[in-house]
Amino acid sequence: MRTSTEESSLQEELSVILAQLQQRLGNSPDLIMRSIRIPSSPTTHVTALHIDGLIDKQMMNDSGLCSNLAGSGSDLTTHGSTIQEGVYSLLYNHASALCEVSTTRTLDGVLASILSGDTVLLIDGIAEAICCGTKGGESRGVDEPTTQVVIRGPKDSFNETLATNISLVRRRIRNPDLWLEKMKLGKKTQTEVAIMYMKNTVDDELVQEVKHRLQKANLSAVLESGAIEEMIQDQTATFFPTIYNSERPDVIAANLLEGRVAILVDGTPFALLVPTVFAQFFQSPDDYYNRFDVGIFLRMLRYICYLISLLLPSVYIAAITFHQDMIPTTLLISIASARDGIPFPAFIEAMLMELSFEVLREAGVRMPRAMGQAVSIVGALVLGQAAVQAGIVSTAMVIVVSITGIASFSTPAYNVAISARLIRLFIMILAATLGFYGILLGCIVLLAHMCSLKSFGIPYMAPFAPFRLFDQKDNILRMPRWSFIKRSRLIHQEEAAESWGRAMNASSKDSSDSKGE
Amino acid sequence: MKPKPILLSWLLLSIVVLSGCWNSKELSHLAIVSAIGMDKLPGGSEYRISFQVINPSEISSGIQGGGGGRTTAVTVFADNGSTLFEVIRKITRKVPRELLFSHVKVLVIGEALARDGINDLFDTFERLHQTRLTTKVVIARNTSAEEILGVITPMEKIPADAIEGKLEFSSNLWSENLEYTIDDIIRALVSKGREPVISGVIVQGEIERGRKKSNVEMSRPDALIMVRGLAMFKDGKMVQWLDGDKARGVIKLLGKIKSSVEELDCGSKKDAVTVELTKSKTRIKTSMHNGKPLLEISIIEEGGLVDTKCALDLARMDELAMLEQRWSKRSAEVVTASIEAAQKQKSDIFGFGEALNRTNKLEWKRVQNDWNTLFAKGEIRVVVDSYIRNSGMRIKSFLQQS
């Protein structure tokens, strides 16, 4: 907001200030000015300013400033030396009782206040404005999460209002150790960003690092947490997300208890969590709410599905173009008969199918919801059936691509699943040129790359590499809950009872271990 | 600073592109060979080698895009040449695709070639990476391998599968045959103390009509491939066919019997009791006595009674013991007959020489070059212990009640 030269302090004359403000805001019609008459001092002009839609109208009207002020006391001079000062202190006291109040002496301060939803009271003759916190306005309610769906578990999710989101987390961790820091990011948007952490659990250096990186992030606009994620992540040139995001308050709470730092951004339901390890993307809150055996099974299934979504088309290509001897004879004959008369080499065929599947998927996401369904039906029927009948692709390839597609949906985190889609194409090229040898090469490079990644100083592949036996109980496996805490004696019952979250996970350990790195 | 990433990625990319698609073969350019046949051309040293190639669209015609119904499930291509590899390359003049050998199920050797010697045949199979040493080997009895490959078979669309299936189940349940793989044969050929035996296949009926698809369009096919007999080899050359009990004796001696059927006499009635052999264990031991080998065989076999045509009282132990004794005697006779047949041909197909090698290495070194003649003079001593463990769901036969 500091674009103009008017870094100046407020004028005393009300009409001048109002004119200045209107000029700065380009005579915006949504700047609402209300004159307030003080009964006991009719000559003092008081104006309340706010932007339409940003404030809580209920608060303004019902318990609001205007109506209550009207009937206020008479002895104004007892509050100050002049009548104006008397009015000022009267208003100040009154407002304090209703909402949080601050004062500003600059025009920019006034502007910042009203733009973030405050109501500003200006008194003729006083060069100081009273800013009342009346933030509110329309916002979406707390709905069910749409991206991280669980069968069993809390059904609330963040919305676009920071205060709501913070309260959702606070409600889960009623502990004074849950600390919150706020800052404004984005030179133009001045978006509020909150950092949350558990004071005695988290590594202090991590908090410092997060704050440092956030301040260093030279953003002009923060419209979604993705912008922040990109600016504070450790490495840009990678397929893998190194920062976890979630719209589920229970996930954020659990991770805070593990010692992570959450970054909540106003205007988006997606909160960030740092540091992040690869295994996190395969954990669903469901794992912890169901029995542990179910949890283990589902989690292993997800890892297998990820491998399928990464490698299946490549393995298929490699097997039928290089390693026909590995396929059982009957299957080979079926594939051969299905491929008889297919005009393209297996690789081109696979690419065709993969790309059309991706197009379908993208179209399905972008289409208006009512039409989305039509797209998938048309896609499945027309593309699949007709392409096979026309002899453009073989049935085996349709099966492979569909299994791959379905498998990629089973990864709970969308951002990792989508990166697998990209990597898949590269490995397919390798498979088509070098066979299994190529797939192996690709996997080695990929693994080496993953091992080189870090998220806020924590090795990305943490409990795998470096390998920590102790942390394996909540990695691919999800052992029974009592194993998450060290076996405690009776004296430590409290501690045991408190750790309902996924204590002892990889990174909380690592964050204290790898300070030197 | 890191190495220039763009340059590095170009270099890495060139690995992929420059290497080309090494060994990449599109499935639609491959002809899957299900069986190989080898025959000797009359006169000269050339072979006639035939390949049974699968027509995939005929096998799985249910699959969309498969088509089918145009031709037979397999086509046989054959050509002459002095080595297998030569023919593999030469045959490309006749086959529109490249042959794929990793799914060969069966290797059929013509009888004429087998009698001429099989020592030279298997080198290529060991050298090429596609061919598998687990391929089963059979001898085309009284006919050529090419004819065998050409017969269209009912039930199994691929004739090679049919041969393999018959070989497997008859070996397991009837035990007059043996599933011998290329690997087994090579090992038997290398060993001085053992000679290979290979199962035979014949075509029952009219070979000519077996080549047509119409052969399987009738309930009683005109031509049928049947597994029959064991070919006995000596010095890599086939010398004799063993059939029936003699063949079974060989299998029993080799300890390869899994299950079989034995018929025993019941009083004066011949072959009136049938026993299902369920377990048989053979131990052979060879030792030298006065320059003559002593061939000791001990067999323990178990079985259950499955059929009687006479009134046996199985509740009586002595009846059962008598039956067991009779079975032991019969087994000993069968086994002795098999050994004698082999001795006549001076061919140690049972591995008595290897047994000697295991027990007395020095002695074996001394006699190994002359083993076959020594074996022929060997004294046979067979001990069989037979046990009838059960009599099925009944004890007394209804024949006894009437």
Domain end marker among B197, B225, B242: B242
pLDDT band at A506 (very low <50, low <70, confident <90, very high): very low
Domain end marker among A276, A304, A326: A276
**A391 chain-B contacts, CB cut-off 8 A:** 65
A471 within domain boundaries: no
A13 within domain boundaries: yes
Q: Do A395 and B26 make contact, defined as CB atoms within 8 angstroms?
A: no
Mutation site for B-interface testing, chosen from A323, A325, A337 by largest number of B Cβ within 10 Å: A337
The confidence score (pLDDT) of residue B281 equals 93
**B18 chain-A contacts, CB cut-off 8 A:** none
Domain range for B340? 244-402
B3 within domain boundaries: no
The confidence score (pLDDT) of residue B2 equals 62
Shared-domain flag, residues B310 and B269: yes
pLDDT band at A247 (very low <50, low <70, confident <90, very high): very high
Domain range for A174? 162-276
pLDDT band at A372 (very low <50, low <70, confident <90, very high): low
**Residue A337 near chain B (CB below 8 Å):** yes
CA distance B55 to chain A (A): 8
Shared-domain flag, residues A113 and A183: no
Shared-domain flag, residues B136 and B211: yes
Shared-domain flag, residues A100 and A212: no
Shared-domain flag, residues B236 and B248: no
**A432 chain-B contacts, CB cut-off 8 A:** 21, 24
Domain end marker among A84, A114, A132: A132
CA distance B98 to chain A (A): 13
**A395 chain-B contacts, CB cut-off 8 A:** 63-65
Shared-domain flag, residues A364 and A263: no
User: What is the Cα gyration radius of chain A?
Assistant: 30
Shared-domain flag, residues A348 and A421: yes
Q: Do B56 and A336 make contact, defined as CB atoms within 8 angstroms?
A: yes
Determine the Cα angle at A335 with ends A331 and A341, to 5°. 160
Paired sense of beta strands B98-100 and B30-40, if any: parallel
DSSP A142-190: ----SSS--SSS------S-HHHHHHHHHTT---TTEEEEEEEE-TTT-
DSSP state of A13: -
The confidence score (pLDDT) of residue A505 equals 44
Domain end marker among B191, B213, B242: B242
- pTM, full prediction: 0.84
Domain end marker among B242, B261, B293: B242
The confidence score (pLDDT) of residue A77 equals 57
B17 within domain boundaries: no
**A429 chain-B contacts, CB cut-off 8 A:** 16
The confidence score (pLDDT) of residue A503 equals 39
Q: Do A335 and B27 make contact, defined as CB atoms within 8 angstroms?
A: yes
| CATH at residue B315 | 3.30.300.210
**Residue B18 near chain A (CB below 8 Å):** no
Closest CA in chain A for residue B21: A433
**pLDDT at residue A490 above 50?**
no
A82 within domain boundaries: yes
**Residue A335 near chain B (CB below 8 Å):** yes
For residue A322, give the nearest of B17, B23, B63 by CB distance.
B23
DSSP state of A9: B
Shared-domain flag, residues A213 and A345: no
Read off the amino acid at residue B212: K
A187 within domain boundaries: yes
Query: For A96, left (φ over 0), alpha (ψ -120 to 50), or beta?
Result: alpha
The confidence score (pLDDT) of residue B19 equals 63
For residue B32, give the nearest of A336, A342, A394 by CB distance.
A336
Q: Do A337 and B16 make contact, defined as CB atoms within 8 angstroms?
A: no
**Residue B64 near chain A (CB below 8 Å):** yes
Shared-domain flag, residues B334 and B231: no
A151-204 tens-digit pLDDT: 888 999 999 999 999 999 999 999 999 999 999 998 898 899 999 999 888 888
When divided into structural domains, chain A yields a total of: 3
B90 within domain boundaries: yes
The confidence score (pLDDT) of residue A507 equals 42
**Residue B69 near chain A (CB below 8 Å):** no
**A320 chain-B contacts, CB cut-off 8 A:** 27
Shared-domain flag, residues B291 and B224: no
For residue A325, give the nearest of B34, B67, B102 by CB distance.
B102
The interface residues of chain A toward chain B in range 424-463, judged by CB-CB distance below 8 A, are 429-430, 432-435, 438
For chain B, 402 residues long, give each residue's pLDDT as a single digit of tens. 566 888 888 887 777 666 666 678 888 889 999 999 999 998 878 999 999 999 988 887 655 544 567 888 999 999 999 999 999 999 999 999 999 999 999 999 999 999 999 998 999 999 998 899 999 999 999 999 999 999 999 999 999 999 999 999 999 999 899 999 999 999 999 988 888 999 999 999 998 899 998 999 999 999 999 999 999 998 899 999 999 889 999 999 999 998 999 888 887 888 889 999 999 999 999 999 888 999 999 999 999 999 888 877 888 888 889 999 999 999 999 999 999 999 999 999 999 999 999 998 999 999 988 898 999 999 999 999 999 998 888 887 887 776
Shared-domain flag, residues A256 and A305: no
CA B220 vs. chain centroid, Å, equals 26
B21 within domain boundaries: no
Shared-domain flag, residues A168 and A229: yes
Please say whether the beta carbons of A51 and A18 come within 8 A: no
The interface residues of chain A toward chain B in range 357-396, judged by CB-CB distance below 8 A, are 388-389, 391, 394-395
Closest to A158 (Cα-Cα) out of A283, A201, A171: A171
Domain end marker among A459, A475, A497: A459
Please give, one letter per residue, the 3-state secondary structure of B248-278: HHHHHHHCCCCCEEEEEEECCEEEEEEEEEE
Shared-domain flag, residues A59 and A171: no
Q: Do A341 and B67 make contact, defined as CB atoms within 8 angstroms?
A: yes
B7 within domain boundaries: no
Closest CA in chain B for residue A334: B60
B338 within domain boundaries: yes
Closest CA in chain A for residue B28: A340
Closest CA in chain A for residue B56: A337
Closest CA in chain B for residue A393: B65
Q: Do B32 and A438 make contact, defined as CB atoms within 8 angstroms?
A: no
Residues A315-333: what's their mean pLDDT? 92
When divided into structural domains, chain B yields a total of: 2
The confidence score (pLDDT) of residue A99 equals 81
Mutation site for A-interface testing, chosen from B27, B100, B101 by largest number of A Cβ within 10 Å: B27
Structure token digits, residue A500: 């309902």
CA distance B300 to chain A (A): 38
**pLDDT at residue A51 above 70?**
yes
For residue A341, give the nearest of B59, B65, B132 by CB distance.
B65
For residue A337, give the nearest of B26, B66, B103 by CB distance.
B66
Q: Do B27 and A389 make contact, defined as CB atoms within 8 angstroms?
A: no
B13 within domain boundaries: no
Shared-domain flag, residues B257 and B352: yes
**Residue A35 near chain B (CB below 8 Å):** no
Determine the Cα angle at A143 with ends A142 and A145, to 5°. 120
Shared-domain flag, residues B78 and B220: yes
Shared-domain flag, residues B71 and B209: yes
A386 within domain boundaries: yes
**Residue A345 near chain B (CB below 8 Å):** yes
Q: How many H helices and E strands in chain B? A: 15, 13
The confidence score (pLDDT) of residue A80 equals 58
Q: Do B63 and A338 make contact, defined as CB atoms within 8 angstroms?
A: yes
For residue A325, give the nearest of B24, B54, B130 by CB distance.
B130
For residue A324, give the nearest of B5, B19, B27 by CB distance.
B27
Q: Judging by beta carbons within 10 Å of its beta carbon (0-12, 13-18, 19+), is residue A35 exposed, middle or buried?
A: exposed
The confidence score (pLDDT) of residue A502 equals 39
CA distance B121 to chain A (A): 22
Shared-domain flag, residues B221 and B288: no
The confidence score (pLDDT) of residue B148 equals 94
Shared-domain flag, residues A293 and A270: no
Shared-domain flag, residues A301 and A440: yes
Query: For B144, left (φ over 0), alpha (ψ -120 to 50), or beta?
Result: beta
**Residue A314 near chain B (CB below 8 Å):** no
A510 within domain boundaries: no
Shared-domain flag, residues B237 and B281: no
**Residue A402 near chain B (CB below 8 Å):** no
Shared-domain flag, residues B235 and B289: no
B19 within domain boundaries: no
Distance CA A376, CA A364 (A): 7
A217 within domain boundaries: yes
Distance CA A161, CA A442 (A): 43
The interface residues of chain A toward chain B in range 218-277, judged by CB-CB distance below 8 A, are 237
Q: Do A435 and B24 make contact, defined as CB atoms within 8 angstroms?
A: yes
The backbone torsions φ and ψ at residue A166, rounded to the nearest 5 degrees and listed phi first, read -60, -40
Shared-domain flag, residues A297 and A435: yes
The confidence score (pLDDT) of residue A367 equals 78
Residue found under tokens 């923060």:
A222
Shared-domain flag, residues A293 and A184: no
A145 within domain boundaries: no
The confidence score (pLDDT) of residue A504 equals 40
Distance CA A188, CA A185 (A): 9
List C-alpha distances in Å: A478 to A246, A279, B70. 20, 12, 57
Distance CA B44, CA B49 (A): 15
Q: Which residues pair with B299 in a beta bridge?
A: B282, B384
Shared-domain flag, residues B232 and B248: no
